[in-house]
Amino acid sequence: MRKFAKYILIAAGLALAVYVLAILGLNIYLQSEGLQKRIQTVAEAAAGSPVRITGTHYTPWSGFSITGVSVRGKSGVGQPPFLAATSVSFRFSLLALLQGKLVVSEVVVANPFLVAISAPPPPAPEPKLPEVAVPGQGTSSPIQPPEMPDHPPEAVVITVPEPVPVPSPTPALVEVRRIRVTNGKAQLFDSKGTLAITLTGVEVTGEVLPDRSALGTFEVAETAVGAYVHPGHVKGTFTWKDGRLVIPDLRADWAGGQLTGRLEIGPDKEISITGAAEGILIKKLADDAGINGDGSRGSLFSKGTFHGYAGKPETFTGRVDVSLQQARFQPLDVIRQIGELMSIQELQMLELKTAEAVFNIRDKKVIADSIVLESENLVMDAKGPIGFDGKLKLQARLHLNERLRKDLAGLLGSNFKESERPGYQQMPFSITGTVSRPKSDLLDKLTGFRIGQDVGGLLKNLFKAPPPKPKAESNKEPGGG
């Protein structure tokens, strides 16, 4: 019995040694320069772009791995590659491989970093006019009329080519059943080189179905849209088929509230979005955007739609409705500074009874169809275009009731007119600049003087008390030598 056990142990040891030697030999082969060049050539043919890899190896637990992968894509000189990853691993079935099939049970892309830069729109081609010879100028030959045959042809024979049979698609040589992305990151730039979207901590798990479609789940730990919007814990499910991506249940945390929506991207880069925001905290929203939100409170609710083709702003259409509940925040700087100088608390911090706005996307811009902010004694409304670059061109009105006009007596100019609101008078003004740094001629209109943007300095000089006389002069006796 002991002899049989000894033989079994020897056989097991030999089998283990052969297995280890096979793995070692396989890794030596995989790390050979010739094989890596072949893998690189195949990858470049599939990606249509230069591909760089630093190494390959195989382990029983992680499968076949390609390390240091980078795809140049359309990135220019000095720009980071379109896609880079620490490693791409393939777990495959050895039994299927012995049967002549390559079945990849799972592909794992570790630490990918995607950098996409939108190409600027191509310049419109200049129309080329035909050269026409002018008598007595130049050496160009005059345009000759086309020659017409003396007699029409007796017959015209049209040969219709036989249809070429379309070959049936050959079955895929490689079958992939599962794809995972771990700890991914992406940066998307617009055509001007401005960072538009950042995604960090991307996790994706997808199942590939027999018809080559896919479905799965995803999660993004942190996102940034421009410099103002920072949703977190973005997650949902997705389906992909025939080049169409559908995310039916997008969810995210944003400024203490929740975002929900649906996203669909077609193979021709057609984008459709519907979404809603609930319970977004105004103070947290201001802090995330880098705006002073001291003393602010209230919640934002919104719903909207968007449709268009990526890279074609002329096709963008949509609508967004926004409302605030129990809102309290600082008004425009000019209003706040006047409130400070005149000790009018309502102008320093707006307590809003009504706060709502309607925006429509059309004609390559966002149109503010209606913005209304109403407090106890003050109403501000505005409308006008907001460019996709954040530039403002709003026509606004300030409505003051009789009580507030009395408090500001002596400061107001003669630009106020009767308002459609009973008991109020209104004054038009403009809001320009950008979303992050708005400018206004409100103070010019309020006072009736051309003051410009230096609100604080001028008003403080106008209203501050005169400086006291020096002490030495006040103690000096009249007529003293």
Q: Is 445 helix (H, G, I), strand (E, B) or coil?
A: helix
Which residue has tokens 């009874």? 353
Query: Rg for the chain (alpha carbons), in Å?
Result: 36
What pLDDT score was predicted for residue 442?
81
Least confident stretch, 220-234, 311-325, 410-424: 410-424
Least confident stretch, 30-34, 266-270, 441-445: 30-34
- Among candidate residues 213, 263, 222, 220, the one with its CA nearest the CA of residue 240: 213
The residue ranking higher by pLDDT, 403 or 49, is 403
What pLDDT score was predicted for residue 459?
37
Most confident of 14-18, 370-374, 438-442, 458-462: 370-374
Per-residue pLDDT for 170 more than 80? no
What pLDDT score was predicted for residue 474?
45
- Alpha helices per DSSP H over 269-344: 282-288, 333-342
Contact 61, 75 (CB under 8 A): no
User: In the numeric block, which tokens belong to residue 59?
Assistant: 């382990």
What pLDDT score was predicted for residue 63?
74
Cα angle 232-237-241, degrees, rounded to a multiple of 5 = 130
What pLDDT score was predicted for residue 184?
95
Instruction: Give CA–CA dist 428/160, Å, rounded.
Output: 71
Please report which helix (H) or strand (E) contains residue 400, including its range.
Answer: strand 394-401
Q: Rounded to 5 degrees, what are φ and ψ at 147?
A: -75, 130
What pLDDT score was predicted for residue 456?
42
Confidence of residue 480 (pLDDT cuts 50, 70, 90): very low
Per-residue pLDDT for 195 more than 90? no
Contact 187, 111 (CB under 8 A): no
Averaged pLDDT of the chain: 78
Which residue has tokens 């942190």? 222
Displacement of CA 82 from its chain's centroid (Å):
17
Confidence of residue 172 (pLDDT cuts 50, 70, 90): very low
- Among candidate residues 116, 57, 112, the one with its CA nearest the CA of residue 86: 112
Q: What is the mean pLDDT of residues 346-367?
A: 90
Instruction: Give CA–CA dist 465/197, Å, rounded.
Output: 51
Pairing of strands 312-329, 354-362: antiparallel
The residue ranking higher by pLDDT, 73 or 188, is 188
The residue ranking higher by pLDDT, 475 or 356, is 356
Per-residue pLDDT for 352 more than 80? yes
Burial class from Cβ neighbours inside 10 Å (0-12, 13-18, 19+) for residue 423 reads exposed
Contact 294, 329 (CB under 8 A): no
Q: What is the mean pLDDT of residues 61-66?
A: 77
The residue ranking higher by pLDDT, 401 or 147, is 401
User: In the numeric block, which tokens belong to residue 299?
Assistant: 């919640």
Per-residue pLDDT for 169 more than 60? no
Instruction: Give CA–CA dist 34/69, Å, rounded.
Output: 17
Instruction: Give CA–CA dist 457/445, Å, rounded.
Output: 18
Q: What is the mean pLDDT of residues 343-363?
A: 87
Per-residue pLDDT for 209 more than 70? yes
Determine the length of the chain: 481
User: In the numeric block, which tokens belong to residue 303?
Assistant: 């719903």
Least confident stretch, 174-178, 299-303, 332-336, 476-480: 476-480
Confidence of residue 155 (pLDDT cuts 50, 70, 90): very low
Per-residue pLDDT for 280 more than 80? yes
Instruction: Give CA–CA dist 24/57, Å, rounded.
Output: 10
What pLDDT score was predicted for residue 51?
83
Q: What is the mean pLDDT of residues 291-316?
A: 88
